[in-house]
Amino acid sequence: NLSIQRKLRTIINHFKIFQNEDACEEHIKSMSDDDYIILITNDQIGEKFIPRIHNSQQIFSIYIHAQNKNIDQRWMNQFPKIKSICVNYDELIKRIELDQIKYKNITNKILFEIFHSDEKNDSNQKFIYWQILIDILLQMDSMPNDMIDFLSLCRMQYKGNKVHLNIIREFQQNYRPDAAIWWFTRDTFISQLLNKALRVRNMDVLFFLRFFIHNIERQLKEYRCLTPIQVYRYELILNKEMEMLKNSIGQYISINNFLLTKLDRNLALISSNT
């Protein structure tokens, strides 16, 4: 159904159809552990195929399209990645859209590292190495073709996704260095790529994005507050992360992504539920 495929392409970057289960499994195995896959299958194929791929690191969620709700669902209970069993495609698409929002909230969480000055370990070495790389990136001069090279990468990344391709075209036509923060706060391809690159430490993508990171840095310096202000951000963190912060008073803490905050506490709480 081409109409369904077009709708799915607006919410999923890469949409690929497989007629062969073995080919699908090989494709899943070929993906990086940093990638995530949404699998859509029917109940008949899924009963045999899902046990083969459920524990793959790349599988994020599974959706089953069934002919009716009266199918035997007992076998599905042992596979927690199965998020929904839908009879009609509109219901399926709506559920995927809602879960995508939840996924974005998870992947945009604060990423922090702690440097313990009294210890010598691999974590400290990685901490220093990453700080040096970011510092080098910020000191590198941007080249005239940086944005062209970056947008070529984006078009490959979002091939077939008309919504994102239209925004990429808009970015190429209208982007100005003094609008970098405005573009970053939009939920578009550029914030998605930058957040993921910071999360998985993909220096290749960050290198392509250095012109944009430079512009954000200049804007932050230009508009920084000269006096302290109180801002709010809603964040769910694990108990062990909270304990780690409590036990790291006096140490160096590095936050490895951009923090978007609100001046109004209630607005921060409202945005957390979207």
The pLDDT of 150-167, averaged and rounded, is 88
Give all domains of the chain, ordered by start, each with its CATH number: 2-107 (3.40.50), 112-272 (no CATH)
Strand spans (E) along 92-157: 112-115
What does the buried/exposed string (b/e) look like for 87-115 if buried means 16 or more CB atoms within 10 Å of the residue's CB? Answer: eeeeebbebbeebeeeeebeebeeeeeeb
Which is more confident, 5 or 116?
5
Residue 233 predicted with pLDDT over 90:
no
Say what the pLDDT of residue 109 is: 66
Residue 221 predicted with pLDDT over 60:
yes
Mean pLDDT check: name the lowest of 35-44, 94-103, 163-172.
Answer: 94-103
User: What are the residues facing 87 on neighbouring strands?
Assistant: none
Q: What are the Cα distances from residue 259, in Å, to 30, 112, 168?
A: 33, 11, 23
User: What are the residues facing 85 on neighbouring strands?
Assistant: 64
Say what the pLDDT of residue 77 is: 86
- Does the pTM exceed 0.85? no
C-beta of residue 142 within 8 angstroms of C-beta of residue 209: no
Which is more confident, 126 or 189?
189
Say what the pLDDT of residue 105 is: 63
The closest alpha carbon to 81, from 111, 22, 45, 41, belongs to: 41
Instruction: In whole angstroms, give the CA distance from residue 212 to residue 194.
Output: 9
Instruction: In whole angstroms, give the CA distance from residue 107 to residue 120.
Output: 30
Q: What are the Cα distances from residue 16, in Å, to 13, 51, 208?
A: 10, 20, 26
Say what the pLDDT of residue 15 is: 81
pLDDT band with cut points at 50, 70 and 90 for residue 33:
confident
